[in-house]
Structure formats: C-alpha cells, structure tokens
C-alpha cells in the first residue's frame, strides 16, 4: 500500500444519533443474516403450512358438520400466522446465544454504545424478519378462503409486527443468560408449545372447562392471536352461531376485552420484557 496519510477517525461522544445508528446496524445485520439463510426461511415455513393444510384439512373434515358455512382452515389461519411469527422471532432472539458462543456478542458489548441500543436493534430485527416471514403466509390467504382486502392485510401486518416484537423481546430476555444453543432451544420449545396450544391458534377457546379457560386468559399469546382472528372474521360472512363458537373473543369475567386493549396488553408486555432484557445485559457486564 502506498504511504498515504492514515485517515483519523474521531469516535463521537455517546448520543441519541449514535445509539440510533447502532440500532439500525444491529437490525440490518439481522436482516442480512436472514436473507442469506434460505434454509432457515424455508424451515420456518414448513411447520405452519403443515398445520394449516394437513392438520387443518384433516380436522376440517371432522368438524364440517358442526361449523356450517366456514372452512376450518379459515379459522386456523390467524393462528398459523402467529405461529410463524413467533417461531421466527424466537429464532432471531436465539441468535444472541449463537453470537455469544461464536464471540460476536463481545464485539457488540465492548462498543461505546448503550446496551439498550443493541437489545432494541435485536428486537426490531427479529420483528422485521418475522413479519417478512409472515407475509409469505399472508400471501396464502386466498387458499383458505380469506379475502385479500387491503384493510385486512394491513391490520394483520401491524398485529404481526407487534406480536413478533414482543416474542423477540421474550426470547432476548431468555437468551441473555443462556450459554449454549441446546439449552435455549430446549427452553424455547418448552415455552412455545403450551403457549401455542392455549392461545386459540389451533382450537376455539369457547366452552372450555374453567381450569383451561383460566390458562388461556393468562397466556399472553392469546392476546396476539385474538385480534388477528377478529380481523379475519370481520371480513368474511359467517353465521352468527358459528361466529360465537369460533370467534368468541376474550373475556375477563364478564368483561369482553376489546381488540385495542388486547393489543395494548401485547405492547405493554413487549416493552416490559424489553426492559428486563436490557437490564440483564447491563448486569451481565
């Protein structure tokens, strides 16, 4: 190399602008990693598609008589969107454990930026990637009798993003302490399976025994699935009694929880988990 003057860089003092750049680059990396990893993209899609088209078709033939005028897969559709989004988000969060194992986390943690910027970047990255994955499921709406109405698509997108952000924050909180991938994925399976089953993603939550009903009400994922289902059902014609069975909404005692409040619950939970995650990374130093 010719002896040119070395370019001298003055690292700026910490400030909002600097932290914002950190958030953006952590998010950007998350997206690059995802786009580069086709296998992961595909494998994240297999499960929901299996559930939707194999399980959904099978179950649908069983319950056809009980729910006239609607395809069971239409009912399962919002649940499968959440499932895709949640699994993808969790995987993104899991990459923190991967980063720790392969040393890259250290590169981030010694940088003169706030831990918060790194964690927020990671959560946004997970949310964006998961939403992107959800779009693929969104594209299949027509196959299960859900109309491609712009209003519906937009509200589903926004709800997906919110759910993805919260679940990634949850994953990041778990991952903050984990030293290896096996432990993380073990724990992730343990957390996700019951949350899926109890969220109304697979079967309707109406007329459940009361012990099961209580579990569904405390399950945070219920509040992510229900708004999506309400959105879908408001765009299709369903007989009232079928709607009552498949789309009962969530009740706290006698109180019918409105969609806005449900979304508020998800958002508040996401922010709380994010705060815990940031605190954990600060303490881990």
40 forms part of the interface with another protein (CB under 8 A): no
Site track for another protein across 77-116, x = CB under 8 A: ----------------------x--xxx-xxxxxxxx---
- State the nearest-atom distance from the C-beta of 207 to another protein, in Å: 48
If the CB atoms of residues 64 and 179 are measured against another protein, the closer one turns out to be 179
If the CB atoms of residues 39 and 210 are measured against another protein, the closer one turns out to be 39
In whole angstroms, what separates CA 104 from the centre of its chain?
24
Select from 16-24, 162-170, 196-204, 210-218 the region that touches another protein (CB under 8 A): 16-24
- State the nearest-atom distance from the C-beta of 35 to another protein, in Å: 10
- State the nearest-atom distance from the C-beta of 10 to another protein, in Å: 7
If the CB atoms of residues 25 and 215 are measured against another protein, the closer one turns out to be 25
Site track for another protein across 193-232, x = CB under 8 A: ----------------------------------------
13 forms part of the interface with another protein (CB under 8 A): yes
Backbone angles phi, psi at 117, to 5 degrees: -60, -40
State how far the Cα of 231 lies from the Cα of 279, in Å rounded to an integer.
35
Site for another protein in 113-142 (CB under 8 A): 113
43 forms part of the interface with another protein (CB under 8 A): no
- State the nearest-atom distance from the C-beta of 5 to another protein, in Å: 8
- List residues binding another protein (CB under 8 A): 1, 3-4, 6-14, 17-18, 21-22, 24-25, 28-29, 32-33, 36-37, 99, 102-104, 106-113, 285
């Amino acid at each position: 190399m010719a002896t040119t003057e070395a370019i001298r860089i003055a690292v700026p003092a910490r400030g909002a602008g600097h932290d914002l750049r950190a958030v953006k680059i952590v998010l950007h990396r998350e997206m690059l990693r995802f786009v580069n990893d086709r296998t992961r993209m595909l494998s994240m899609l297999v499960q929901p598609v299996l559930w939707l088209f194999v399980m959904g078709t099978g179950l649908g033939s069983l319950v056809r008589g009980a729910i006239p005028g609607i395809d069971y897969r239409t009912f399962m559709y919002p649940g499968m969107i959440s499932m895709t989004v949640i699994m993808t988000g969790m995987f993104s969060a899991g990459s923190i454990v991967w980063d720790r194992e392969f040393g890259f986390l250290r590169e981030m943690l010694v940088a003169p930026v706030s831990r918060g910027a790194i964690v927020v970047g990671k959560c946004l990255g997970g949310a964006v990637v998961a939403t992107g994955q959800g779009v693929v499921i969104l594209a299949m709406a027509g196959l299960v009798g859900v109309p491609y109405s712009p209003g519906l698509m937009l509200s589903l997108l926004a709800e997906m993003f919110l759910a993805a952000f919260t679940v990634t924050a949850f994953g990041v909180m778990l991952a903050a302490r984990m030293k290896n991938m096996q432990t993380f994925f073990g724990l992730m399976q343990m957390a996700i399976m019951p949350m899926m089953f109890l969220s109304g993603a697979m079967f309707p939550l109406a007329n459940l025994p009361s012990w099961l009903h209580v579990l569904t009400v405390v399950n945070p994922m219920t509040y992510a699935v229900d708004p999506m289902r309400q959105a879908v059902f408001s765009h299709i014609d369903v007989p009232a009694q079928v709607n009552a069975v498949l789309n009962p909404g969530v009740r706290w005692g006698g109180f019918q929880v409105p969609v806005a409040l449900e979304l508020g619950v998800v958002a508040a939970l996401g922010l709380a988990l994010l705060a815990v995650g940031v605190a954990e990374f600060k303490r881990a130093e």
